[in-house]
Amino acid sequence: MRHLPVLVLCGLMLAACSKKEAPAEPVRPVLFTTAKEQSQEQLGRFAGSIQARYESVLGFRVSGRIAQRYVDVGSEVEKGTLLASLDPIDQQNQLRAAQGDLAKVQAQLINAQANARRQQQLFDRGVGAQAQLDAARTDLSTTKASVDQAQAAVDQAKDQLAYIELRNDHAAVVTQWHAEAGEVVSAGQGVVTLARPDVKEAVIDLPATLAEQLPVGLEFIVAAQLDPSINTTATLREIEPQAESTTRTRRARLTLATTPEGFRLGSAISVTLSSSIEPHTEVPLTALLERDGEVRVWVIDMQAKTVSTRVVKVASRGPGTALLTSGIKPGEHVVTAGVNSLKEGQKVKVDEEAVR
């Protein structure tokens, strides 16, 4: 009986050892992000420029040597502005020659009229022959026709002289000269390109593969490269049917919804293409956990500061993000680093100021 207290003491010590708790799981610091809803699919960004929808190439209506150019590239010109002129010597000589021919036939007309009157008087007195009267009348008619023909030649020569001046028929901006002063040009040859500044559009070159598969409902965001705050939306107006042989691109022309003041002709722009899609949830690729043939993510319970896995369905993967169609709701917090070292229900430490 003397050993009973010792046995009781040993039993108490064993009981105390059996009730000692197992070591707690360490609290792991994690990086996380907030899942975002994505309703637009980004298809790329392309450089382009602002151009006029309507352009015209003007040329002289007569041949000659360019005597002078009166405006430079970039000049804004009103309707009827003198753009260039030809050396007038040839046209002036043609006009003088036509005027000489007209004076000659007008003198012949006076003589024919006098002869016709004389033959009529002789015939009326009974001393003139009918044949001579008929010949005088025919000569008078022929001479009148020659006068009309010579007058038309004079009018044409005057028009030719007027054509040595090149003028525009609408307000425009000079975008390019194709000939220099002193150069001889033929009738109809392009001399200057004019652009109408009132209707502008965005012009970009798209890869042929993308241009052939543009989705319905495509949205274009057009922004100035120097100041992206200057922007507007646009719609596709036309796309060239054939790709450029060297770059394998097709030129697309976009109708602007509005025309900001900063969108001047020739301005460099950046055009972002996006397409409306069924709303998806966007998370970083580092948040995905491949396990047992399923794709999962770790979702943080911000109240309990624990994590749990969630099976998700991936719609697409981009350079740094993935779009999920199910499993995650927008606004939920998803772990973005160390996903392979977490355990179900594990306590985590989150720094809400370091959200990624």
| Predicted pLDDT of residue 11 | 55
338: left (phi over 0), alpha (psi -120 to 50) or beta: left
pLDDT, tens digit, for every residue of 61-76? 999 999 999 999 989 9
| Predicted pLDDT of residue 154 | 95
Name which of 246, 255, 244 is nearest 211 in CA terms. 244
CA–CA separation, 86 and 164 (whole Å) = 5
CA–CA separation, 303 and 305 (whole Å) = 6
Average pLDDT of span 145-170: 93
- pLDDT averaged over every residue in the chain: 85
Q: How confident is the model at residue 219 (pLDDT cuts 50, 70, 90)?
A: confident
CA–CA separation, 231 and 135 (whole Å) = 83
Name which of 249, 259, 260, 256 is nearest 271 in CA terms. 256
Average pLDDT of span 278-295: 81
pLDDT of 308 strictly over 60: yes
Q: How confident is the model at residue 1 (pLDDT cuts 50, 70, 90)?
A: very low
pLDDT of 300 strictly over 90: no
Please answer whether residues 60 and 163 qualify as being in contact, where contact means their C-beta atoms are separated by less than 8 angstroms. yes
| pTM of the shown model | 0.57
CATH 2.40.420.20 positions along the chain are 28-38+279-354
CATH 2.40.50.100 positions along the chain are 55-87+167-195
CATH 3.30.450.40 for domain 28-38+279-354, yes or no, is no
What is Dmax (Cα atoms) for the chain? 192
| Predicted pLDDT of residue 354 | 45
| Predicted pLDDT of residue 277 | 60
pLDDT of 159 strictly over 90: yes
pLDDT, tens digit, for every residue of 13-62? 555 555 545 455 677 788 888 887 766 666 778 999 999 999 899 999 99
CATH domain 43-53+198-278 topology: Elongation Factor Tu (Ef-tu); domain 3 (2.40.30)
Average pLDDT of span 185-198: 92
CA–CA separation, 151 and 334 (whole Å) = 92
CA–CA separation, 305 and 61 (whole Å) = 84
Q: How confident is the model at residue 185 (pLDDT cuts 50, 70, 90)?
A: very high
| Predicted pLDDT of residue 125 | 85
* Secondary-structure class of domain 55-87+167-195 per CATH: mainly beta
CATH 1.10.287 positions along the chain are 89-162
| Predicted pLDDT of residue 4 | 47
| Predicted pLDDT of residue 42 | 65
Domain covering 89-162 in this structure, CATH number: 1.10.287
pLDDT of 94 strictly over 90: yes
Name which of 99, 94, 114, 115 is nearest 147 in CA terms. 99
